[in-house]
Structure 1
Amino acid sequence: MIFEPFSIGDVTFKNRIVRSSIGGRMAYYDGTVNNAWKNFELRFAKTGVSAIVSATLNVNPIRWSPLEYPQISDDKFVPPLREAIAAIQAEDCRYIIQIGDGGSHVQTSLFSQPQDGYGPSPGFDLLYGYRTRRTEMTVADIEQTVHEFGQAARRVRETGADGIEITASKGYLIHQFLNPAINRRRDRYGGSVERRFRLLREVVEEVRRRVGDDFLLGVRISARDRNRLPLNLRWPITWPPRTYLEGNDIGVYARYARWLRDLGVDYLHVSNGYGFINPGETPGRFPIDEARQFANSTRHLSAKAAFRAAIFNVLPRPLLDRIMNIGWTTGEAANLDDARRLRAESGLPVIANGGFQRRSVVQDALASGACDLVSMARPLLANPDLVELFRRGREAPDRPCTLCNRCAMRTTLFPLGCYEPLRFDSSADMEAQILDWSARPDVPEALPWEPAGTAPPPRTGQGEKAFARAPSR
C-alpha cells in the first residue's frame, strides 16, 4: 500500500509517505524564505515523498522564535513562498503549509519581550519558553490571534500551496488552550472541555472562511497531553492531580476529533504529548548535550532561562541523562494506536506520526487501517533516499536514524541535518552531509549521498580527533 495513491478532497498524494514538519534557520532575518530554504525542501521532493508539511510558519509578527525561521505574518512573505512552492510541486510533490503561534512556548528572541509569554492563564513552566512567567491573554488578545490565523490562511492560499495545516499540538498556543492544566480560565475560553476548545474552533472557522471550502484543511493534534513527560517543573499545581500530570486523555481528544470533523476539517495529523520536544512528539532520547547548548544560548533572556542553563551546566551529565530520559522510549509507530482511535471516532483521513522508518512497519500501519498516510522527518533527514529504498523493497537503510533527537534540539542554533556521530565514519563526513542539505542543486556536491551499503571514503585529520571525542549513545 505504500505506493498506492491516496486522495483527500481534490488533493492526490502519489504515495503514502509525507515529510512531516521540520523547522530550521533557513530564512532571512525578517522571516522571508530564501534559496537555502527552497533547496532544502526540494531535496525531499526530489527523493520521492508524496507531500511536504512545512515548518510551522508564524502567524504573529512578534511571537516569533527564533530569528531566521519562516514567517507568514505579512503579505510580503507570499511571493518568495509562491516561487519556491511552484518548484517543489514541479517534482510531483504536494506542499502543505503549517501555521501556528508558539504562545508562551516561544523559546528565543533577539531581546526579551512580554508578548512571548502570552498564554491562556498565568503560570510558570521551567522547560518550555524563556519568559519567567506566563501572562494571561485578554479576550481582545485572543480575538486578534484568531484574526492573525485567518490572514495567514489567506496568504497560504495565495502562495499556491496545496493545503494548510493548523498547529494544535507541540505545546503551542492552541494546545495551551486545550490543556486543562495550563488553561485555568473561567470565561468563554476555559473551564470546561467545550470552552477550552473554543479558540481552536474559532481559528478553524476563520481559516475555512478565508481559504474556502475547496481548499485542503488539516489539523495537527496530539492524542494525549501526558504533561508529566518530559520531567518538568510547572506551577501552579492543579486539581485533580491526574489533570495536572496527564492533561487531556485520548477520550477528550476523540471528542475534539469529532468536533473538528463537524467543522469541515479534511484530515487529522496525529502525534502525541505536550511541548516540543517530548517523548510522544519525538520518541527516542532526550539530547542532553544539545539541550545544554540551547540553554546556554538563551540564558540572557530571563531569570528562568539563566536558572535553567545553570541546572544543565552544574548537574553531572550522567545524572541529567538519567533524569531527563525518564519515560522516553525508542519504539517505532509510537502513536499508531491513538491514530487508529481518532480515525475511527472522527471518520476523517489520518496522517500518523512518531518514529516510523521501517518498510514493514509503515506497510502494516497502512494495511491495518490505523491511518491513511504516514509522516516522518528525522528518518528522512538521516536518509534522504529512504522512500526509494522502500520502493526497491528494502526493509530499512543500513544506517537508520537512531532517534537521538540531536537534530530536533539543534534547529535553533545550527543548520538542519543529522548530528548523530554513530551514523558516520568521521566528523568530516557528518559535517559534509549537514552542509550539503541546502546546497544549490546545480552545483556538483563535494560529498554526494552514498548509496545504501556503500561506506564513504576514509578521511584523516583533525576532524577525526574531534569526532572521537563526540559523546555517543
Structure 2
Amino acid sequence: MSKLFTHLFTPYQVKRTEFRNRIFSTGHDTYLPQNYLPSEALTAYHVARAKGGAGLIIVQVVGVHESARYTTDLLMGTEDACIKPFAKMIEAIHREGTKVFVQLFHPGRELLGRPEGVAQAAYAPSFSPSERFRTAPRPMSLAMVEEIITGYGEVGRRMAEAGADGVEIVGSHGYLPAQFLNPRVNRRDDRFGGGLENRIRFIGEAAQAVRKKVPADFIVGLRLSGDELDADGLQEDETLAACRLLKDDLDYFNVIAGTSASQGGAIHIVPPMLIENAYVAPYARKLKQAIGKPVFVAGRINQPHEAEKVIAEGAADMCGMTRAMICDPQMANKAKAGATDDIRACIACNQACIGHFQLGLSISCIQHPETGRELDYGVKPKAARAKRVMVVGGGPAGLKAAAVAAERGHQVTLYEKDTQLGGQARLAQLLPARAEFGGIITNLTREAERSGVRIVKGKTVTPDFVASEAPDAVILASGSLPQRPPAEIGDDAHVIHAVDVLKGEKTGSRVVIYDWLADWIGLGVAEKLASEGVDVRLAVNGLSAGMAIQNYTRDAHLARLHRLGVKIIPLMRLYGADATTAYFLHTAAQEPVVLEEVDTIVLACPNAPEDSLTRTAEAFEHYLIGDCLAARTAEEAVYEGLKAGMAV
C-alpha cells in the first residue's frame, strides 16, 4: 500500500460492518435502471467501481411511496417483487469486497417527472411553491405523512432482505425530510410542524420505522445538506441543531451542501469546476464535533490527496468521491498502489454525468466514455491482427483513438502539427474558472503513453506523407477551423474570433460578443473581458447564455457575469457590422436590433471541419472522428475516438 494515503486506506467500521477503506460512491442518478428496478447495465456500472477498489457504494435513490416518482429513472422499492433484482445487484457488488447501502427517497415538492405524460401533483409538508421546478405542492394530510413513514420502513426491510448493509434516508438538497426541517417550508400546525422538536419528528419516525423492520446490526444513516446555501433554505445552525436532536436515531450522517429548490442552491448538487475542492469538509468537521457520530462527506473531493487530508485532519470518517470514480473506476486501486500519475482525474465539467441524466440519457464521462457503457466497452478485446495505424491530430479525439487502438495491440503513431497536444482543449483551459479542463489533455496523453502510442509532435501530415507511410488504417482527428457567419461585415469593423481573444489579441473597450453557440465559450470570453475592465454585451442566439451546457455549470457562470455587470441580450442573430455598430435580428420578433458604440465584435460561432485529408484517407481503411467529422464538443470527440479505436 502507498505510504501517501495511510489514513484513506485504513479500514473503518460502523456497527459490525467494516469498509476496506474510506472511499465511497455517493448515491447518484444514472438513468441505467429499467422499469424502476436494477438492470444489468446498472449492476455492471457499480461492479466496475467495486472492482476498482471502492470501500462503499451507496446505490441511487429508491422511492418509498408512489408519490416519490420524481423521474422515470429512479428505482422503486414499494413492492416485494423488487427484492430479487436488488439482491442480484448487491451480491455482485459484494463479491468484489465492497459494502452496499441503498438510498431511501421522497422528493416532496422537488418533482419534475411526467410519468404519464403530464405534470404530476407534488406533495409537501405545506403549501410552499418551489421556484426551480415551478411546483405548487399540495399539503400532505396527516394520514399521507404516516403512510410515507411506513413506506420508509417497508422499503428498508426489502433492502435488508436483498442483502444491503444499510440504508440512507435522503434529506439532502431540499428533499422531503429537509422540507419538514425547514420552518420556511414547513408551516404545519400538527405534531410534524412548529418547533424544532416537531419538525425533526418526520426523520426520527422514518428512521424508527426502518429499525423496527431490519436486523439490529443493519445501518441506518441520513444524508443532509450542512447548509442549503439559499436565503430560504436550511442554514448551517439549523442543520446542526436538528442533527444534535437526531443523533441517537441514526448510525451515521452524510453531509453535503445546497438545495434543489433554487438555481443558486442547485449548483451544489453536482458542483462545477469553479467551486473549491473539498469545500464541504468544514461543515462535516462542525457536525462531527457536534454529534460525536460517524460523519461522511462529499463535494468536489476529486483526488486521493484531498480525501487523505480530510480524513487525516478528522473532518470526516468517509469521503465521497463519486465523479472521481465515474471518470476513473480504478481510482482507488491506483491510489492504493501509489500510481497517482495514472489516475484519470475528474475535471468537473458535468457534461456527461449529471448532464446526461438531465437529458434523459444514461450516465457517462467525457474523458471515459466507457462509463455507463460497461456492457459494451468494459472489455477491449485484442485485435485479430496487429495493424499499422496512423492517427492524424493530437486533440481529445485522436488521443483516445490512439490509446484504445494501441491497447488492443495495434502499432499506433499519432501525428500532431503543433508542438503541443490537446487541440482546442488547450484554449478552453485559458478561460476563467476553466483551468481544470486542461486535465483532459493530461489524462488522455497519459492513456496514450501507457498504451504504447508513438507520438510525433510538430509534424504536418500531407497526402504525400500518408502515401509514403502506407499505413493499414488512417484515423483523421484533425479538428476544425473558425468560420465567420453569413453576415454583411464592413472592412472597417473590428471582428475577431473567440480563439483570438484567448491567444492574446486585444479588443476595444466596448465589446459585443456574438454567441451563436450559447455554450461555455461565450460565457467565458465575456467574463474574461469584463474582469479586465471591458464593457461587454453578450448577444446570444438563443434563450439564454449557456443554454447548450449543463445547467449547474451555466448558472454558476451566469452568476459571475451578473456580478461583473455583463448585459445579456437573448434571441440575437448577427446580420451586419460596421466600424461602430452591430446589427442584429431578434429571432422571435423578426425585427432589427441595433447595438451602437461598438469597438470590437467577438464571434463565438460554429467551426467547420478541417478534413482536407479525407480523399487521401479514402484509399485506406479510414475513420473521421471528432470535429474533423463535424464540429461538436469534447464528449463526442472522445467517444468517437473510443469507437474508432475499437473498430480498427
TM class by shorter-chain length?
A: 0.7 to 0.9
Deviations 1:106-127 (A, max 9, x none): 2212226676411111132231
User: Shift of residue 192 of structure 1?
Assistant: 2.2
Q: Does 1:15 align with 2:18?
A: no
- 1:106 & 1:344 partners in 2: Cα distance? 34
Q: CA 1:435/1:192 → structure 2, altered by over 3 Å: closer, same or farther? A: closer
Task: Please tell me the residue identity of whatever aligns with 2:633.
Answer: A
Does the Cα contact within 8 Å between 1:179 and 1:225 map onto a contact in 2?
A: no
Q: Which residue among 205, 219, 230 is the counterpart of 2:208?
A: 205
Deviations 1:271-308 (A, max 9, x none): 111118723332226xxxxxxxxxxxxxxxxxxxxxxx
Q: Which residue of 1 aligns with 2:356?
A: 410
Q: Which residue among 190, 193, 196 is the counterpart of 1:190?
A: 193
Q: CA 1:467/1:345 → structure 2, altered by over 3 Å: closer, same or farther? A: farther
Q: CA 1:114/1:374 → structure 2, altered by over 3 Å: closer, same or farther? A: same
Q: Which residue of 1 aligns with 2:446?
A: 453
3-state secondary structure, aligned to 2:296 = strand
3-state secondary structure, aligned to 2:207 = helix
Could you tell which deviates more after superposition, 459-468 or 149-158?
459-468
Which structure carries more relative contact order (alpha carbon 8 Å, separation 6+)? 1
3-state secondary structure, aligned to 2:132 = coil
Q: CA 1:79/1:65 → structure 2, altered by over 3 Å: closer, same or farther? A: same
Could you tell which deviates more after superposition, 44-53 or 357-366?
357-366
- 2:282 & 2:629 partners in 1: Cα distance? 42
Does the Cα contact within 8 Å between 2:29 and 2:73 map onto a contact in 1?
A: no
Q: Which residue of 2 aligns with 1:437?
A: 374
User: Shift of residue 399 of structure 1?
Assistant: 4.7
Deviations 1:351-404 (A, max 9, x none): 111110222211111111111110121121112221122113255666522212
Q: CA 1:454/1:9 → structure 2, altered by over 3 Å: closer, same or farther? A: same
Task: Please tell me the residue identity of whatever aligns with 1:253.
Answer: T
Q: Which residue of 2 aligns with 1:356?
A: 301
Does the Cα contact within 8 Å between 1:103 and 1:116 map onto a contact in 2?
A: no
Q: Which residue of 1 aligns with 2:142?
A: 139
Deviations 1:413-444 (A, max 9, x none): 1111114xxx4xxxxxx6x5245334485784
Q: Does 1:125 align with 2:130?
A: yes
Q: Which residue of 2 aligns with 1:279?
A: 267
Please give the root-mean-square deviation of Cα atoms over the aligned residues, in Å. 2.7
Q: Does 1:5 align with 2:36?
A: no
Q: Which residue among 321, 326, 335 is the counterpart of 2:280?
A: 335
- 1:385 & 1:452 partners in 2: Cα distance? 17
User: Shift of residue 44 of structure 1?
Assistant: 0.7
3-state secondary structure, aligned to 2:45 = helix
- 1:382 & 1:256 partners in 2: Cα distance? 35
Does the Cα contact within 8 Å between 1:333 and 1:356 map onto a contact in 2?
A: yes
Q: Which residue of 1 aligns with 2:253?
A: 268
Q: Does 1:82 align with 2:87?
A: yes
Does the Cα contact within 8 Å between 1:171 and 1:274 map onto a contact in 2?
A: yes
- 1:344 & 1:445 partners in 2: Cα distance? 53
- 1:396 & 1:99 partners in 2: Cα distance? 37
Q: Which residue of 2 aligns with 1:389?
A: 334
3-state secondary structure, aligned to 1:104 = coil
Task: Please tell me the residue identity of whatever aligns with 2:236.
Answer: I
Q: Which residue among 315, 322, 344 is the counterpart of 1:370?
A: 315
Which aligned pairs between 1:96-115 and structure 2 lie closer than 5 A? Answer: 96-111=101-116
- 1:451 & 1:471 partners in 2: Cα distance? 12
Greater fraction of residues in helix: 1
Deviations 1:8-57 (A, max 9, x none): 1100000110111122222222x122211111111111100011000011
Task: Please tell me the residue identity of whatever aligns with 2:23.
Answer: I
Could you tell which deviates more after superposition, 135-144 or 392-401?
392-401
Q: CA 1:55/1:376 → structure 2, altered by over 3 Å: closer, same or farther? A: same
3-state secondary structure, aligned to 1:105 = coil
Q: Does 1:344 align with 2:347?
A: no
- 1:440 & 1:331 partners in 2: Cα distance? 33
Could you tell which deviates more after superposition, 352-361 or 112-121?
112-121
Q: CA 1:28/1:359 → structure 2, altered by over 3 Å: closer, same or farther? A: closer
Q: Which residue among 22, 30, 36 is the counterpart of 1:24?
A: 30
- 2:350 & 2:382 partners in 1: Cα distance? 26
- 2:382 & 2:241 partners in 1: Cα distance? 50
Does the Cα contact within 8 Å between 1:18 and 1:374 map onto a contact in 2?
A: yes
User: Shift of residue 468 of structure 1?
Assistant: 3.6
Q: CA 1:415/1:115 → structure 2, altered by over 3 Å: closer, same or farther? A: closer
Task: Please tell me the residue identity of whatever aligns with 1:272.
Answer: A
Q: Which residue of 2 aligns with 1:300?
A: none
Q: Which residue of 2 aligns with 1:40?
A: 45
- 1:137 & 1:81 partners in 2: Cα distance? 30
Task: Please tell me the residue identity of whatever aligns with 1:162.
Answer: D
Q: Which residue of 2 aligns with 1:232?
A: none
- 1:459 & 1:154 partners in 2: Cα distance? 55
Does the Cα contact within 8 Å between 1:357 and 1:396 map onto a contact in 2?
A: no
Does the Cα contact within 8 Å between 2:174 and 2:233 map onto a contact in 1?
A: no
Could you tell which deviates more after superposition, 390-399 or 86-95?
390-399
Q: CA 1:267/1:442 → structure 2, altered by over 3 Å: closer, same or farther? A: same
User: Shift of residue 88 of structure 1?
Assistant: 0.9
3-state secondary structure, aligned to 1:210 = coil
User: Shift of residue 344 of structure 1?
Assistant: 0.8
Deviations 1:196-241 (A, max 9, x none): 21111111111111114321111111111222xxxxxxxxxxxxxx
TM-score, length-normalised on structure 1?
Answer: 0.78
Count of paired positions: 398
Q: CA 1:162/1:120 → structure 2, altered by over 3 Å: closer, same or farther? A: same
- 2:378 & 2:31 partners in 1: Cα distance? 19
Q: CA 1:24/1:167 → structure 2, altered by over 3 Å: closer, same or farther? A: same
Could you tell which deviates more after superposition, 182-191 or 200-209?
182-191
User: Shift of residue 80 of structure 1?
Assistant: 1.1
3-state secondary structure, aligned to 2:446 = coil
Sequence identity, in percent?
26
- 1:222 & 1:337 partners in 2: Cα distance? 12
Q: Which residue of 2 aligns with 1:464?
A: 627
User: Shift of residue 171 of structure 1?
Assistant: 2.0
Could you tell which deviates more after superposition, 209-218 or 266-275?
209-218
Q: Which residue of 2 aligns with 1:325?
A: none
Q: Which residue of 2 aligns with 1:164?
A: 167
Deviations 1:243-279 (A, max 9, x none): xx1433222222222222222x111111111118723
- 1:225 & 1:435 partners in 2: Cα distance? 30
Q: CA 1:252/1:454 → structure 2, altered by over 3 Å: closer, same or farther? A: same
Q: CA 1:249/1:65 → structure 2, altered by over 3 Å: closer, same or farther? A: closer
TM-score, length-normalised on structure 2?
Answer: 0.57
Q: CA 1:246/1:395 → structure 2, altered by over 3 Å: closer, same or farther? A: farther
User: Shift of residue 90 of structure 1?
Assistant: 0.7
Does the Cα contact within 8 Å between 1:36 and 1:439 map onto a contact in 2?
A: no
Q: CA 1:398/1:466 → structure 2, altered by over 3 Å: closer, same or farther? A: farther
3-state secondary structure, aligned to 2:190 = coil
Task: Please tell me the residue identity of whatever aligns with 2:21.
Answer: N
